[in-house]
Amino acid sequence: MTLDRPHFPLHALLAVALLSALPVRFPAAAPNDSDVRLEVSGLRDAKGRVGCLLFATGDGFPGDHAKAHAEKQAVIEAGRATCVFADVPTGTYAAIVWHDENVNGKMDKNFMGIPQEGYSASNDVRPAFSAPGFKESSFAVKAGTVTRMSIRMGY
């Protein structure tokens, strides 16, 4: 009994060998060109900076810096400051801003946990007796857009 060899034309084998040696390039993912601009007004003075935290989930909102999607600081000019977050993926976010008057990178609180510096959340959420919640502070970021959020600082 003899085994038959498969018959492949030599030029077909050569073509397969050459094609498999070519580098394969996949198109790069399109950069996300969505930005979030937090435009903060109502600052009582120009001392310090404005701190801004952007959260993609309610986990850690509003004050856990380690769980924030991104963090920025902005210079205060004429009672206003703007934090810009570039290349933000599409989704639902919430932001917290605070007037970091002593530039220590955190919102100062008294012994009872009450903020001693001005703060507010996106959608101008600032409950009187509790921290702002993610759901009521949330907003949508759509692909290819600049999402502008005006936030008035509260003291």
- Residue-wise pLDDT tens digits, 53-101: 999 999 999 999 999 999 999 999 999 999 999 999 999 999 999 999 9
Indicate the residue type of 107. Answer: M
Interatomic CA distance for residues 77 and 74, integer angstroms = 9
122 phi/psi in degrees, rounded to 5: -55, 155
* pTM of full prediction above 0.85: no
Q: How far apart, in Å, do the first and last CA atoms of the chain sit?
A: 95
Question: Which pLDDT score is estimated for 6?
Answer: 56
Question: What are the tens digits of pLDDT across the range 128-152?
Answer: 889 999 999 999 999 999 999 999 9
What residues have CB less than 8 Å from 63, skipping those under 6 apart? 53, 96, 107, 131
Q: Which residues pair with 128 in a beta bridge?
A: none
Q: Which residues pair with 100 in a beta bridge?
A: 49
